[in-house]
Structure 1
């Protein structure tokens, strides 16, 4: 069964009286070249496992199963049980878990599913409305031994994930992503590659997970608190954004001294700071806040 064929997708929809759920952001991939690029980007092989988020009708699931040792797919839509039973029949290396990915104990799940796999990748065609919560949860998850994460996202989100300092697309999400991984855009995917077609371009992004964070702040929680406060008001300068956040219990004069000590201009904005500069800034804020409390 050629699962990227529009005829096959139409056949399955009619047979199982199934229509893509807009509320779940369901758009089924129908371009075999894009499918091949996703599988290649996952670097799956006969010794590796792949956790797939949102298998849909099993297009990517089946392609991954031909390459990987094992595929475990998490699907929230119970209506797809009969569809997947047909499209994935004959594969003995696929497990389907019908649940909400945001509510699962992922380290436990991966330990159960991939104990005999040398490496594990994650692959997902993420619904646009829930991209950030899922990605944030994956990146912040402790004890998740993952080689890479390959995701299909809205193009503008993909650009943000990969954006560097000085870019208008650089954001708190960029910093979080690059703290934990090295992102790269694999390809841009136009709407016509899906059934039904979305209204905007998509992009395949690979996040190669770092063994250690890109920087090592004194306090990781404070580091990300500083990043969020800095980007909280993008039209404001870094100094004003930090002051207006009220997140650190420090007055404007104290924060101004910290910014000056970092050799940063009072007019600099958050999107101009590197991860190393954010780390140094958060460390300085931590020292000043501790002194004030003492």
Structure 2
């Protein structure tokens, strides 16, 4: 169990929550334990924690990992974390925006790296996208996020939650939902349920494509206007009509379909066919 208590620390330092930073701190020890267990942290692991709050999850991680580096943006939390965690030799604190950190530098020669984060809702998507697109050498990302975002990550084709973000995560990771967390487990209580989800990085992307940038552009264009057909979505892809028709034929995909009905494999086929027409 954590020897830090969130409410006690908040009171001790008279900490005032910043709405602009979307701060909700966990107060339930069982959730902390489930996050660490769900992340499968062990003594071989170097853990990078994003958004440590007052350090309650950090202490749980320090008890299991080889070492922990926490990244915190809020100036007011730095002295609190420094003081409360001063006895832990394997703890390192970085005062920075997690979107501006050079993770390659941070990871260095470490072979078993796990990222754990309790993210403010407004930065969830950019941080996940940044970590995945950066192709950093980490094994898994275990995050507590808004239930709606977790549903988007885990969505299947032809569902309302399925979109470009679902495909980005599926391209790089397998996913596992660890647990749901109710608003009562936080101070202050958010208005929505949260979910702890683990993204396990695949050894190599789920499918092989000829041009990754084009592949993600095809996906983006397909979802820009969800109700439009693929044919309409591909109008900005930079191919004349005849070549675009050929690309759809080669890929074996009906241009009247909507983007939300395509699997990741079908998006791969379509983007490769477009690539061949562009470069043929």
TM-score by length of structure 2 reads: 0.94
Separation in 1, partners of 2:94, 2:256: 51
Partner of 2:118: 125
Q: Shift of the alpha carbon at 1:266? A: 3.2
Q: Which runs of 5+ in 2 are unaligned?
A: none
In the other structure, the counterpart of 1:53 is: 50
Matched, 1:224 2:226: no
2:142 aligns with one of 135, 150, 157: 150
**2 CA distance for matches of 1:68 and 1:50?**
7
Matched, 1:177 2:174: no
Q: Distance in 2 between matches of 1:13 and 1:29?
A: 11
Q: Are 1:213 and 2:202 counterparts?
A: no
For 1:233 and 1:118, locate their aligned partners in 2 and report how far apart those are by CA, in whole Å: 41
The alignment's C-alpha RMSD in Å is: 1.7
Distance in 1 between residues matched to 2:151 and 2:141, nearest whole Å? 16
One of 193, 218, 226 as aligned partner of 1:201: 193
Residue 35, structure 1, aligned to residue 32, structure 2: yes
Q: Which of residues 91, 94, 99 in structure 1 aligns to 2:96?
A: 99
Output the CA distance in 2 between the equivalents of 1:62 and 1:38: 12
Matched with 2:14 is: 17
Structure 1 match to 2:133: 140
> Paired residue for 2:269?
280
2:60 to 63, 68, 75: 63
- What whole-Å deviation, never above 9, does each CA across 1:189-241 have from its counterpart, x for those lacking one? 11111110111111111000001110110111111111111111111111111
Corresponding residue of 2:240: 251
Secondary structure in 1 aligned to 2:64? coil
Give the count of matched residue pairs. 280
Aligned-partner Cα distance in 1 for 2:252–2:79: 61
Q: Report deviation, 1:158.
A: 0.4
TM-score (norm 1): 0.90
- 1:79 maps to 76
The answer (yes or no) to whether the contact 1:3–1:30 under 8 Å persists in 2 is no
**Cα separation, 2, equivalents of 1:9 and 1:181:** 32
**Do the aligned partners of 1:3 and 1:58 also contact (CA within 8 Å) in 2?**
no
2:250 equivalent in structure 1: 261
Deviations 1:80-136 (A, max 9, x none): 12221333232221111111111121101121xxx4x54110000111111111110
Tell me, yes or no, if the aligned pair for 2:178 and 2:198 is still in contact at 8 Å. yes
| Unmatched 5+ stretches in structure 1 | none
